[in-house]
Amino acid sequence: MGQIHNEQTKLLATGLNNVAVAFVVIGGVTPVTALSFGVASAPSLNLGTVAFALIWFCTGLCLH
């Protein structure tokens, strides 16, 4: 069971890391990129937008 268990643990860790990266990209990188490029449908920069990005970033950080 040793090698099988180790590989399953590594796969689970990789999957959680990929989810964490997706959370950071969706919540942090995408709004900042949209604002910097001036996308018409980008949210305006206010406290709610910053809080939204911070929550997604912190969630990704916790998963990582």
Domain coverage including residue 22: 2-63
Q: Give dist(CA 58, CA 64) in Å, integer.
A: 10
Quick one: pLDDT at residue 35?
Answer: 81
Quick one: pLDDT at residue 19?
Answer: 92
Q: How many domains does the chain have?
A: 1
Whole-structure pTM over 0.75, yes or no? no
Q: For 8-63, how does the pLDDT look when each residue is reduced to its tens digit (9 = 90+)?
A: 999 999 999 999 999 989 888 888 888 888 888 877 778 888 888 889 888 888 88
Quick one: pLDDT at residue 14?
Answer: 94
Q: Give dist(CA 55, CA 31) in Å, integer.
A: 13
pLDDT score of 7 more than 90: yes
